[in-house]
Structure 1
């Protein structure tokens, strides 16, 4: 799993590449928390290059969402890979990560 996180605006974009599973959960969550803390408004998360995504990854994502909400920030899924999208659809959690602009 690799991260890239360009900064310089009110929102930080974080791109994740590779597998996010139990072994990578803490690194994934720590990076998301750091990005949320460094942002003014929240994080746009790009998961289009994620090749494996399990329940522990979803759990970390939900924990980061709670952290964002407690800080009056948002965590938005800007892009998802098919495997991430499938897990979000199966768990009915995809709508939790929108920015509220969709109809």
Structure 2
């Protein structure tokens, strides 16, 4: 297509027409502010996520080290029931055993 007085190659003309069409057509896309775009970029940036995870892991070292110095208190208990029958004199034995323990450990 030749327009008199306008000397453009077909690719430049096609690019211009496509740009004009896109500019004139109304779009349904909602405009996002810069902060929302920044937040979306941060959630998809793997390097940023790796650095953030490393920082959280480093911050947890101090509380974990302090926890190793605190005393540890544990409580355990158990019960055993024994029901035995002696066949020689038809005597039945029933025994009950309970055990409890409280352990305090200071590193």
- TM > 0.5 fold call: no
Q: Higher relative CO (CA 8 A, sep ≥ 6), structure 1 or 2?
A: 1
Which category describes the TM-score, using the shorter chain as reference length? under 0.3
Q: TM-score, normalised by structure 1?
A: 0.22
Larger Rg: 2
Q: TM-score, normalised by structure 2?
A: 0.21
